[in-house]
């Protein structure tokens, strides 16, 4: 196993970070900016700074194929940063939320991204070619508290969301005109937007801090504040998945 690398970047809390696909670029959320570091030899050097948010940046994610960066903040907005010969071009994304954004992740297709929030909903954002801007569509029910983590299924349609009400949920984020109809999976076959494909409660109703699908997408894991890791294995379409805690 390779030894760990320790890089002391600055004396501020790190809210989130993301590596590029080749691990040569590192984006780090620092207060209300995002610092971009480039690997040189065995260290990372500060190369650029993304400024635009006026409150703490809470999430950052680098798209592995296009290299686009998405950020979200307590200012209730998101930005998509596109690399150009002149530098990083920001595009403001109006999330239409009345509470802070908490986390953000690109879908594997890179045609959309999901944002967690304190507004008890998940904006799913996609680019509208006709109007040449990013728009958001809200997943609302049955969310009843702050979203703390989001993670995409490999098919870019299903979305896992963890929240402070102790629930991890699998939800459909299918957007007509953007997504192709996904193949049937153990999570279900008919997946209109906001379909609840699974809802799982932590044994002690502790906050959910992290969620992730397996590489196949056929299992879901979530970690909670009570030091448990739960893995959910769906058995078949329309059949309830069976959770297993460790």
pLDDT over 90 at 190, yes or no: no
Give, rounded to a whole angstrom, the gap between the first and last alpha carbons of the chain.
Answer: 25
Predicted local distance difference test score (pLDDT) of residue 127: 96
Q: What does the pLDDT look like over 207-240, one tens digit per residue?
A: 999 999 999 999 999 999 999 999 998 875 555 5
Residue 128 has a CB neighbour count (10 Å cut-off) of 11
CB 76 within 8 A of CB 100: yes
Q: What does the pLDDT look like over 95-151, one tens digit per residue?
A: 999 999 999 999 999 999 999 999 999 999 999 988 889 999 999 989 999 999 999
- Return the residue matching tokens 């397996």: 214
Predicted local distance difference test score (pLDDT) of residue 8: 79
Predicted local distance difference test score (pLDDT) of residue 246: 60
Predicted local distance difference test score (pLDDT) of residue 41: 86
* 63/53 Cα distance (integer angstroms): 20
pLDDT over 70 at 244, yes or no: no
Cβ neighbourhood burial of 33 (10 Å; 0-12, 13-18, 19+): middle
Predicted local distance difference test score (pLDDT) of residue 9: 82
Q: What is the mean pLDDT of the chain?
A: 93
CB 224 within 8 A of CB 202: yes
Is the pTM higher than 0.75? The answer reads yes
pLDDT over 70 at 47, yes or no: yes
64 is written with which tokens?
């592995």
């Amino acid at each position: 196993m390779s030894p760990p690398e320790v890089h002391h970047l600055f004396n501020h809390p790190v809210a989130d970070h993301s590596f590029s696909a080749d691990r040569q670029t590192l984006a780090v959320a620092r207060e209300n900016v995002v610092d971009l570091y480039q690997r040189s030899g065995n260290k990372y050097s500060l190369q650029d700074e993304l400024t635009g948010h006026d409150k703490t940046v809470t999430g950052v994610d680098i798209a592995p194929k296009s290299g686009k960066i998405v950020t979200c903040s307590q200012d209730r907005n998101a930005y998509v940063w596109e690399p150009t010969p002149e530098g990083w071009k920001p595009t403001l994304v109006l999330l239409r939320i009345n509470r802070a954004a908490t986390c953000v992740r690109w879908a594997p297709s890179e045609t959309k991204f999901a944002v967690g929030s304190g507004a008890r909903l998940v904006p799913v954002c996609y680019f509208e070619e006709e109007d040449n801007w990013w728009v958001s569509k809200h997943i609302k029910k049955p969310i009843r508290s702050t979203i703390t983590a989001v993670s995409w299924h490999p098919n870019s349609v299903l979305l896992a969301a963890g929240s402070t009400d102790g629930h991890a949920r699998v939800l459909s984020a299918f957007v007509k005109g953007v997504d192709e109809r996904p193949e049937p999976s153990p999570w279900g076959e008919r997946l209109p937007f906001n379909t609840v494909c699974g809802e799982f409660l932590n044994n002690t109703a502790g906050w959910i801090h992290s969620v992730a699908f397996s590489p196949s997408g056929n299992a879901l894991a979530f970690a909670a504040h009570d030091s448990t890791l739960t893995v959910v294995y769906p058995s078949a379409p329309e059949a309830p998945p069976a959770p297993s805690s460790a």
